[in-house]
Amino acid sequence: MAKLGKRTRAAREAFAGKEDLSVADAIELVKANASAKFDETVEIALNLGVDPRHADQMVRGSVNLPNGTGKTVRVAVFARGDKADEAKAAGADIVGAEDLMETVQSGKIDFDRCIATPDMMPIVGRLGKVLGPRNLMPNPKVGTVTMDVKEAVEAAKGGQVQFKVEKAGVVHAGIGKASFDAKKLEENLLAFVDAVQKAKPSGAKGTYMKKVAISSTMGPGVSVDVSSATGN
């Protein structure tokens, strides 16, 4: 069995026996043990009582975190004419139409978020096999297929987080950096959980929010008392 490093061993000891903490206590614990040489991301995972194989149990949406994510997001926009100009003015990193499609088809994907105007979807639709697996396909349900390009670009740049439930019923996302003030991380966490709560699908039966846990990029995870995270 591989020998654990000092940092990993110390973190595990710090987390041992601790579970179902309040939001504030969980954040303090994660922050105190985020000791990597880079600014670790604080990540949240929600275990939901849904089976996303059924259409009426799909959980999907987006939320503007009040304190941003601390991450620089590169945004690509499929648009023409005035809307292309609007995207550039709003701070989009890459703007194009057929030329951008060809770039993506060649395998060069130098962006973290993809936005498109509705008239561009016949072009973007050809990229489903490339963008879909990377969760980059524009979708009107999360506001990335829109005529309001300016708002979509500014939201993406300003800390908007998209979420989509995975096969096992888990939703996860980054909610900030370990260097963030604890209060700001707490506000981001509560905003994210609230958005997932509001996205509860009609087909969800029984307990919807089953478990909440947070961790840093390189650190162990700790469970959060669900009532502390949901306010129930």
Tell me the three state secondary structure of residue 5.
coil
Give the pair of three-digit tokens for residue 140: 């009107």
Pick from 173, 215, 211: which is nearest to 69 by CA?
Answer: 173
- pLDDT score, position 144: 95
Question: Would you say 67 and 188 are in contact if contact means Cβ atoms under 8 Å apart?
Answer: yes
Average pLDDT of the residues of the chain = 92
- pLDDT score, position 1: 44
Give the pair of three-digit tokens for residue 25: 């206590």
Per the model's pLDDT, the better-predicted residue between 19 and 92 turns out to be 92
Q: Which residues make beta-bridge pairs with 170?
A: 47
Tell me the three state secondary structure of residue 95.
strand
- pLDDT score, position 136: 94
Radius of gyration in angstroms for the set of CA atoms belonging to the chain, rounded to a whole number:
19
Residues with Cβ within 8 Å of 214's Cβ and at least 6 positions away in sequence, in order, are 26, 27, 30, 42, 43, 44, 45, 175, 189, 221, 222, 224
Per the model's pLDDT, the better-predicted residue between 37 and 9 turns out to be 37
DSSP secondary structure string, 137-206? ---GGGT-B-S-HHHHHHHHHHTEEEEE--TTSEEEEEEEETTS-HHHHHHHHHHHHHHHHHT--TT--S
Give tens-digit pLDDT for 126-180.
999 999 999 899 999 889 999 999 999 999 999 899 999 998 999 999 999 999 9
Angle at CA of residue 159, ends 155 and 164, nearest 5°: 90
Q: Which CA distances in Å does 218 have to 31, 36, 173, 223?
A: 11, 7, 15, 16
- pLDDT score, position 10: 65
**pTM of the predicted structure, to 2 decimals:** 0.82
- What CA–CA distance (Å, rounded) separates 47 from 171? 7
pLDDT at residue 2 greater than cutoff 60: no
The 3-state secondary structure of 33-58 reads CCCCCCCCEEEEEEEECCCCCCHHHC
Q: Which residues of 63-92 are buried (b: 16+ CB within 10 A; e: fewer)?
A: bebebbbbeebebbbbbeeebbebbbebeb
DSSP secondary structure string, 200-229? --TT--S-SEEEEEEEETTS-EEEE-HHHH
pLDDT average, residue stretch 111-128: 96
